[in-house]
């Protein structure tokens, strides 16, 4: 009989207690340059069919988040002159709260038929989630946000994205303030069932 697999109870407990902390609650300090490199080096170990690396990251730290938010607000006002002032304020502030924000950029190559576009996109999604895990493992808190700028080509131009690239997530990282409330999670039997063939 084969040996039973070793159980890493500490890792399982860590995963069971993972939770997002709202970006507006994140506080300084964020990860320094070396800590951020370690978070990224850990997070990039994701499924990647074909070894395509169908993703990259753009880092916002220091005043870069505030400058990007201001550029988004200016863009929003230009394309929608009637936009509410509160929405423009939200654009400006969205990236200024967090000490570090990582934009996860999916690089989808439709010409590679061996690896469907969906698999390339899912690899980028795995990177976004792994960044949450790696940030928490490094002692920080994080949240995955999107927003209109993930779906807008003019906003993509602000990030310098090419035609086959798109932002799929903004991972906000900082120090935990108040403990976030736990939310109700589904029971296993609600989401997993045997195939009835």
Measured in residues, the chain has a length of 197
Distance CA 39, CA 61 (A): 15
Residue 3 within any structural domain of the chain: no
Residue 14 within any structural domain of the chain: no
Contacts of 172 by beta carbon, 8 Å cutoff, 6+ apart = 23, 26, 97, 98, 100, 101, 142, 143, 144, 145
Which run of H or E residues covers position 192? none
Residue 128 within any structural domain of the chain: yes
Residue 91 within any structural domain of the chain: no
Residue 93 within any structural domain of the chain: no
pLDDT in tens, the chain (197 residues): 678 888 999 999 999 989 999 999 999 999 999 999 999 999 999 999 999 999 999 999 999 999 999 999 999 999 999 999 999 999 999 999 899 999 999 999 999 999 999 999 999 999 999 999 999 999 999 999 999 999 999 999 999 999 999 999 999 999 987 777 788 999 999 999 999 99
Residue 112 within any structural domain of the chain: yes
Which run of H or E residues covers position 148? none
CB distance 140 to 102 below 8 Å: no
For residue 146, give the CATH number of its domain: 3.40.109.10
Question: Which residue range forms the structural domain that includes residue 105?
Answer: 21-61+98-178
The phi and psi torsions of 177 (rounded to 5 degrees) equal -90, -115
pLDDT of residue 3: 82
Query: Cis omega before residue 25 (within 30°)?
Result: no
pTM over 0.85: yes
Distance of CA 136 to the CA centre of its chain: 13
- Please give the tally of structural domains in the chain: 1
Tell me the H-state helices in the chain. 9-16, 33-43, 64-79, 85-93, 117-137, 153-158, 188-191
Residue 129 within any structural domain of the chain: yes
The phi and psi torsions of 196 (rounded to 5 degrees) equal -100, -5
Residue 109 within any structural domain of the chain: yes
From its phi and psi, is residue 62 left (phi > 0), alpha (psi between -120 and 50) or beta? left
């Amino acid at each position: 009989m084969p040996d039973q697999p070793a159980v890493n109870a500490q890792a399982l407990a860590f995963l069971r207690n993972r939770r997002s902390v709202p970006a507006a609650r994140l506080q300084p300090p964020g990860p320094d340059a070396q800590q951020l490199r370690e978070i990224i080096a850990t997070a990039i170990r994701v499924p990647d069919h074909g070894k395509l690396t169908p993703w990259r990251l753009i880092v916002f730290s220091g005043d870069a988040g505030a400058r990007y938010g201001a550029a988004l607000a200016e863009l929003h006002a230009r394309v929608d002159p009637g936009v509410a002032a509160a929405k423009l304020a939200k654009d400006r502030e969205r990236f200024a709260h967090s000490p570090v924000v990582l934009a996860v950029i999916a690089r989808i190559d439709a010409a590679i038929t061996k690896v469907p576009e969906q698999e390339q996109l899912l690899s980028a999604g795995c990177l976004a989630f792994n960044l949450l895990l790696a940030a928490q493992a490094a002692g920080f808190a994080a949240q995955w946000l999107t927003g209109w700028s993930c779906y807008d080509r003019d906003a993509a131009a602000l990030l310098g994205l090419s035609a086959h690239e798109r932002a799929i997530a903004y991972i906000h990282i900082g120090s935990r303030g108040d403990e976030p409330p736990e939310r109700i999670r589904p029971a296993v039997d609600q989401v997993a069932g045997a195939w009835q063939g």
